[in-house]
Amino acid sequence: MNSTATQDRVLNDAQVAELAQQLRVDAVRAAAAAGSGHPTSSMSAAELIAVLLTRHLRYDFDEPGEPANDHLIFSKGHASPLLYAAYVAVGAVTEEELLTTYRKFGSRLEGHPTPKLPWVDVATGSLGQGLPIGVGVALTGKRLDRLPYRTWVLCGDSELAEGSVWEAMEMAGAEGLDHLTAILDINRLGQRGPTRHAWDLDAYARRIRAFGWHTVEIDGHDVAAVDQAMAEAEATSGRPTAIIARTRKGRGVAEVEDKEGFHGKPLPHPDEAVSELGGIRHLRIHVRPPEPAGRPRLGGDPAAPLPRYTLGDQVATRDAFGAALAVLGTRREDVVVLDGEVGDSTRAQMFAKEHRDRYIECYIAEQQLIATAVGVGVRGRLPFASTFAAFLTRAHDFLRMAAISRSDLKVVGSHSGVSIGEDGPSQMALEDLAMMRALHGSTVLYPCDANQTAKLIAGMAGREGIGYLRTTRGETPVIYGPDEEFPVGGCKVLRSSPDDQVTLIGAGVTLHEALAAADQLIADGTRARVIDLYSVKPVDTQTLRAAAGTTGRFVTVEDHHPEGGLADAVLESFGNGHPMPLLTRLAVHTMPGSATPAQQMHAAGINADAIAAAARKLVNTKLPALGG
Amino acid sequence: MNSTATQDRVLNDAQVAELAQQLRVDAVRAAAAAGSGHPTSSMSAAELIAVLLTRHLRYDFDEPGEPANDHLIFSKGHASPLLYAAYVAVGAVTEEELLTTYRKFGSRLEGHPTPKLPWVDVATGSLGQGLPIGVGVALTGKRLDRLPYRTWVLCGDSELAEGSVWEAMEMAGAEGLDHLTAILDINRLGQRGPTRHAWDLDAYARRIRAFGWHTVEIDGHDVAAVDQAMAEAEATSGRPTAIIARTRKGRGVAEVEDKEGFHGKPLPHPDEAVSELGGIRHLRIHVRPPEPAGRPRLGGDPAAPLPRYTLGDQVATRDAFGAALAVLGTRREDVVVLDGEVGDSTRAQMFAKEHRDRYIECYIAEQQLIATAVGVGVRGRLPFASTFAAFLTRAHDFLRMAAISRSDLKVVGSHSGVSIGEDGPSQMALEDLAMMRALHGSTVLYPCDANQTAKLIAGMAGREGIGYLRTTRGETPVIYGPDEEFPVGGCKVLRSSPDDQVTLIGAGVTLHEALAAADQLIADGTRARVIDLYSVKPVDTQTLRAAAGTTGRFVTVEDHHPEGGLADAVLESFGNGHPMPLLTRLAVHTMPGSATPAQQMHAAGINADAIAAAARKLVNTKLPALGG
């Protein structure tokens, strides 16, 4: 093999081993040039990746969007030097880019991989997420795309302690994802010392087999053994395969090999290490592309009408969500719905009834729920994931990473706030708005009636990034006509006059309380503007500023803890020279117990009476002069 | 057995079966009286609980604080009717209280159990949390209290899909917690239909055994079999035991037994159901109390001096945290530290070096990390749990439930914000302040130097509820003397004059940037007040209002997304008649990549230059008049 030529034939074991050494050398050089990074965690998996690239992966690096391409996910994202060294070996990234930009400002070669790189599906670096997302990718291939691509996920051993990995093992085993292969790089050493199971490969194999997987235990530095294991994975049907590879961290450099204290830092003597590894090589390899497959033609009937509700009817927004989602599924065949064994409560099952083939039951495993959705999104479909809003907190880290992945992910949380009533605080989402607003680039919507819900679901589907819609358990009156529009970033001014003295701002269940409060206030001659802040992020800055200009006084009311929700969203509109109104913040300040919805709203001080009282008090407050 | 007498001898199987029927009857009656609740999920586990109460549990209901008491945790918290019926049977709760207050406003008998009841250790109702917390309780017994109490956890089958359960299985197996017994109520039906494994008991047993547990599979309605299984659990040493019980949801009432559609609602015909179950009974049983054990005498040297740092030295707050924690461990022998295999990075290992026996390694399993800490807290010790702040999002739901449990839990998150540098966004906490602030009753602290960190760690230890302290990866200069005090709820005004034109507010790493910005501003003759908002929750309302009164203009600067962090905390101080200052909110508005810390701070617009520029602009903004 000419060391600079492109290989166009099958490499023998010695040549693959040479490639592995090159990957090590380049990982060492990259970390040395950057002054940080994880070369030792890369070196343990060099043969695993070298064999995969040269003999098993089917991928067209010139056409990363090719639907028949395999997927390669580095769940151990800190091994980015290995991934980028592989990109150099296949000619996708130049050696110069690797050595001059890795981990530098503005580089696409970040410390942990992100989809800034066209060959990276999702951001990794929070451990235990790659395999769960890989399950979503593989499941899409099997159930929806019906394409024979394979999903290969490289995992570290430390991350196998994450429960999310076992949610993934369970789902993959139960779904029989035989085109999914987990490659476990068991290098014995975690960040701060030995892992719980060290090199007890069988400890891992026993657990994984119990979840319905096929397992193969090998020496991860033996090229022939790795090759055979991957062939075995490809030949195994009905079950996913885990290749459990015993490896040595820092393999090939005696100073660091299998030694503690060298995690996450450049090698102490990189030049000597490169020499010990046989020096710099310039092997270039050709990864076999797949047979091209057409993108599935996903059409739909864009004219399918949204449900229409009659003014005054009592309809829960969760019901309106389910009905709208079913129509969205008819309009767009790319819509896929996922639920966490609560589809009867969230009403996602209304979609399932119409589009059974595009409904994925994730059982009570919210991390896997979001991960599967992200995987579905990797395949170009539009995922809607739903569960009780309170339980979305279970998947917070997955949502955080999905934002870094720039995932197009739609999330719907039901049973928000104290208004759910008797079930008590464990079931009440009182921090979901804070969580979802703080995600980078998110959209947060909170409808108060059925027609609005239908329109917002459709609107959210057309918007990029993470979208969140919060629904309510109980029935609320329909107050908008079915032809009203609700643009994301807008709001509705429901009561208004030029001499308004105070602005009441609610959304969802509290909007109705705000309207009732305004009626109470009229009785004592107090004029209140009422704003329906259905778009919590982005907020309608212009309308809020106008209301502040006119009334100078805001009462915000939300079925949420006081931090991070509606009031904070309102205040985002001000500052930078825009004067803030006086604000009274009504929210759930206490820990609720069990009670009827009306008692809960009363106890929390977020019902009409409380709003009217707060507004009266605020109206009687003199607007003070600011200092300075 | 006299049906109203207190039993003081061993009941025979038929009598225990009678008790089980009574538990069912009372569960049915409670849900009927409340108009909501989960009777069917209670009925499946009636024999399991009846046998436990009469033959295995050792608990003094008159002395719930007795350290030798067993622990009984209902991980399936929705089966609260069963738990409360059991409390009636042992005489701890009256039938009247159950039938008139269950799920009603103000009741301690909430829809899901909470520690408002003296016999309940922790709130449950978010599935998959009871077993992880039970692991913490059992581990404390084995490693720290060295008491022979047993921890019994009743789990549902649906919740076994949660990854957190498998984190718990792993830890319990690895730690050999033979005084922990999981009682799995495999009733086949989840909320919306069959579970993934239905009645395939062996599917569960295989998985659980693979994690190092002993398993027993039984008919959960066979009193003798349940008894034998519990005896087997008690006799098993070196391993925890899972009793895997095949049961029928709604057992005993033909209309609902093993039928879909009856989850989470009262029985359709409760009177007939009670008749079918043999009518109302008034059995009262006596649970055998344990041999009383003394509370472990936990002393310490309260005079052990905190570390002292010299002004101007460069010290990372994470280092100061580790050093202070080690001293706190000397001062208080009740302090227990838990970490998620990153103790070298968080610096929790500095505690481990001094107090190895009170350091618990939870590996990379953040849900189990927090759950173990909550369990340690149940046993009256003071847990400090630490990991990268970004990865605390993994445990958000556990933190949420810990707030409902009123847990005394201290949490420390390292590597916050973009200032960590090259590792990139997956490792950066940019939403932790939003998450921790929105927890009910939480305290949120964010020190900027080493002496402040030491004092805040000590201060947080003395405060009830969930406390969170955010540390920084890089070094920052020591700006406070070692004798300075930092009360929780306070702040420090570091630059001040009566003619200040603007207030700069930072905390942690941004405080130093704010000080540098103030120096820049002085050069153009702009006087800036500088506030160190080390106590993010609660905030120092008085000082902030005074600053607003004087300067009218705030620039807040935080190494966090703009939502839910420092700026929102500042704005909490206003409203209700207190005029808000003009505010410019500097925060991380963009998605960072890899870069040096200084480049990151610059790119995010949160360094000294950005602060000075924002302050100049704001000072030149006229204070406008408010309308209304």
Confidence check: pLDDT of B50 > 60: yes
Contacts of B562 in chain A (CB under 8 A): 572
Domain span including residue B322:
314-477
In a mutational test of the B interface, the residue from A36, A206, A364, A619 whose CB has the highest number of chain B CBs within 10 Å is: A364
Q: Which residue has the tokens 């979901």?
A: A432
Residue B300 lies in a domain: no
Residue A333 lies in a domain: yes
* Beta strands, E only, B119-269: 151-156, 180-186, 214-219, 241-246
Tokens linked to B285:
């049983």
Last residue of some domain: B477, B502, B534? Answer: B477
Is the Cβ pair A584, B596 closer than 8 Å?
Answer: no
Is the Cβ pair A105, B594 closer than 8 Å?
Answer: yes
Is the Cβ pair B397, A400 closer than 8 Å?
Answer: no
Give the HSE-up count for residue B137: Cα atoms under 13 Å, Cβ half-sphere: 26
* Beta strands, E only, B220-276: 241-246
Amino acid at A422: E
pLDDT band of residue A625 (cuts 50, 70, 90) is: low
Residues paired with B429 in a beta bridge: B416
pLDDT 10s digits, A318-375: 999 999 999 999 999 999 999 999 999 999 999 999 999 999 999 999 999 999 999 9
pLDDT 10s digits, A90-100: 999 999 999 99
Last residue of some domain: A477, A511, A530? Answer: A477
A531 Cβ partners below 8 Å, 6+ apart?
Answer: A491, A492, A493, A494, A503, A504, A505, A506, A543, A544, A547
Nearest C-alpha in A relative to B546: A627
Query: What pLDDT is attached to residue B6?
Result: 47
Confidence check: pLDDT of B2 > 90: no
Q: What is the DSSP letter of B391?
A: G
Closest Cβ opposite residue A623 in set B125, B423, B628: B628
Do B68 and B209 fall into the same domain? yes
pLDDT band of residue A570 (cuts 50, 70, 90) is: very high
Do B403 and B360 fall into the same domain? yes
Cα-Cα-Cα-Cα dihedral of B257, B260, B263, B269, to 10°? -50
Do A161 and A42 fall into the same domain? yes
Q: What is the mean pLDDT of residues A453-482?
A: 97
Rounded CA-CA distance B351/A66 in Å is 52
Query: What pLDDT is attached to residue B438?
Result: 98
ipTM score of the complex?
A: 0.97
Chain B, window 357-416: residues with a beta carbon less than 8 angstroms from a chain A beta carbon: 363-368, 390-391, 393-394, 396-397, 400-401, 403-404
Chain A, window 138-167: residues with a beta carbon less than 8 angstroms from a chain B beta carbon: 158-159, 161-167
Tokens linked to A352:
């399932």
Rounded CA-CA distance B414/B474 in Å is 10
Rounded CA-CA distance A36/A30 in Å is 9
Contacts of A584 in chain B (CB under 8 A): 575-576
pLDDT 10s digits, A153-194: 999 999 999 999 999 999 999 999 999 999 999 999 999 999
What is the percent of chain A with per-residue pLDDT over 70, rounded to a whole number? Answer: 98
pLDDT band of residue B269 (cuts 50, 70, 90) is: very high
Report CA B109 to chain centroid distance, whole Å: 21
Residue A306 lies in a domain: no
Confidence check: pLDDT of B628 > 80: no
Q: What is the mean pLDDT of residues A268-286?
A: 98
pLDDT 10s digits, A191-200: 999 999 999 9
Is the Cβ pair B430, A423 closer than 8 Å?
Answer: no
Q: Does A260 touch chain B (CB under 8 A)?
A: no
Query: What pLDDT is attached to residue B13?
Result: 97
CA distance A289 to chain B (A): 31
Residue B24 · residue B42 · CB < 8 Å: yes
Query: What pLDDT is attached to residue A549?
Result: 93
Rounded CA-CA distance B622/B210 in Å is 69
Confidence check: pLDDT of A8 > 80: no
pLDDT band of residue A6 (cuts 50, 70, 90) is: very low
Rg of chain B's alpha carbons, rounded to an integer? 28
Confidence check: pLDDT of A545 > 80: yes
Is the Cβ pair B440, A423 closer than 8 Å?
Answer: no
Q: What is the mean pLDDT of residues B595-610?
A: 98
The distance in angstroms from the start CA to the end CA of chain A is 76
What is the percent of chain B with per-residue pLDDT over 90, rounded to a whole number? Answer: 95
Q: What is the mean pLDDT of residues B476-480?
A: 98
Tokens linked to A265:
């830092």
Confidence check: pLDDT of B507 > 60: yes
With 0-12 / 13-18 / 19 or more C-beta atoms within 10 angstroms meaning exposed / middle / buried, residue B89 is buried
Which of B159, B167, B276, B366 does the annotation list as catalytic?
Answer: B366
Query: What pLDDT is attached to residue B296?
Result: 79
Helices B509-523 and B608-619 sit at what angle, rounded to 10 degrees?
50
pLDDT 10s digits, B9-34: 689 999 999 999 999 999 999 999 99
Is the Cβ pair B192, A343 closer than 8 Å?
Answer: yes
Confidence check: pLDDT of B353 > 50: yes
Query: What pLDDT is attached to residue A626?
Result: 46
Do A26 and A166 fall into the same domain? yes
Last residue of some domain: A448, A477, A506? Answer: A477
Residue A563 · residue B468 · CB < 8 Å: no
Q: Which residue has the tokens 């436990």?
A: B52
Is the Cβ pair B426, A393 closer than 8 Å?
Answer: no
Do B193 and B60 fall into the same domain? yes
Residue A185 · residue A45 · CB < 8 Å: yes
Closest Cβ opposite residue B170 in set A161, A192, A342: A161
CA distance B482 to chain A (A): 31
3-state secondary structure of A555: strand
Closest Cβ opposite residue B190 in set A109, A341, A550: A341
Do A264 and A353 fall into the same domain? no
Do A246 and A385 fall into the same domain? no
Rounded CA-CA distance B580/A577 in Å is 12
Contacts of B427 in chain A (CB under 8 A): 111-112, 125
With 0-12 / 13-18 / 19 or more C-beta atoms within 10 angstroms meaning exposed / middle / buried, residue B62 is exposed
Do A397 and A523 fall into the same domain? no
B392: domain CATH number? 3.40.50.970
Residue A304 lies in a domain: no
The overall average pLDDT reported for chain B is 96
Query: What pLDDT is attached to residue B8?
Result: 52
Is the Cβ pair A564, B562 closer than 8 Å?
Answer: no
In a mutational test of the B interface, the residue from A78, A260, A568, A570 whose CB has the highest number of chain B CBs within 10 Å is: A568
CA distances for A569 relative to A496, A510, A563, B597, angstroms: 21, 15, 10, 29
Confidence check: pLDDT of A5 > 60: no
3-state secondary structure of A215: strand
Do A244 and A321 fall into the same domain? no
Is the Cβ pair A404, B425 closer than 8 Å?
Answer: yes
Residue B85 lies in a domain: yes
Q: How many domains does chain A have?
A: 3
Give the count of Cβ contacts less than 8 A between chain A and B: 390
Planar angle of CA B513, B516, B519, nearest 5 degrees: 155
Chain B, window 466-525: residues with a beta carbon less than 8 angstroms from a chain A beta carbon: 501-502
Q: Does A261 touch chain B (CB under 8 A)?
A: no
Contacts of A424 in chain B (CB under 8 A): 103, 110-112, 114, 125
Residue B485 lies in a domain: no
Chain A, window 60-99: residues with a beta carbon less than 8 angstroms from a chain B beta carbon: 77
Do A73 and A213 fall into the same domain? yes
Closest Cβ opposite residue A591 in set B435, B440, B628: B440
Confidence check: pLDDT of A415 > 60: yes
Q: Does A122 touch chain B (CB under 8 A)?
A: no
Residue B596 lies in a domain: yes
Which of A366, A431, A513, A558 does the annotation list as catalytic?
Answer: A366
CA distance A302 to chain B (A): 31
Q: Does B547 touch chain A (CB under 8 A)?
A: no
The enclosing H or E element of A154 equals: strand A151-156
Q: Does A287 touch chain B (CB under 8 A)?
A: no
Is the Cβ pair B594, A107 closer than 8 Å?
Answer: yes
With 0-12 / 13-18 / 19 or more C-beta atoms within 10 angstroms meaning exposed / middle / buried, residue B271 is exposed
SS3 content of chain B, % helix, strand, coil (to 5): 40, 15, 45
Assign residue B76 a region (left: φ > 0; alpha: ψ between -120 and 50; beta: otherwise).
beta
Q: What is the mean pLDDT of residues A527-555?
A: 97
> pTM of whole model > 0.80?
yes
A349 Cβ partners below 8 Å, 6+ apart?
Answer: A322, A339, A343, A359, B192
Residue A485 lies in a domain: no
pLDDT 10s digits, B134-193: 999 999 999 999 999 999 999 999 999 999 999 999 999 999 999 999 999 999 999 999
Q: What is the mean pLDDT of residues B85-94?
A: 98
Confidence check: pLDDT of B1 > 90: no
Who has greater pLDDT, A177 or B576? A177
Rounded CA-CA distance A572/B583 in Å is 10
Do B233 and B318 fall into the same domain? no
Tokens linked to B191:
């909320």
CA distance A9 to chain B (A): 37
Q: What is the mean pLDDT of residues B544-570?
A: 97
Do B236 and B101 fall into the same domain? yes
pLDDT band of residue B295 (cuts 50, 70, 90) is: confident
Residue A191 · residue A251 · CB < 8 Å: no
pLDDT 10s digits, A38-54: 999 999 999 999 999 99
Q: Is B66 designated active site?
A: no
Residue B52 · residue B32 · CB < 8 Å: no
The overall average pLDDT reported for chain A is 96
Contacts of B579 in chain A (CB under 8 A): 580, 582, 623-626
Q: Does A129 touch chain B (CB under 8 A)?
A: no
Confidence check: pLDDT of A422 > 90: yes
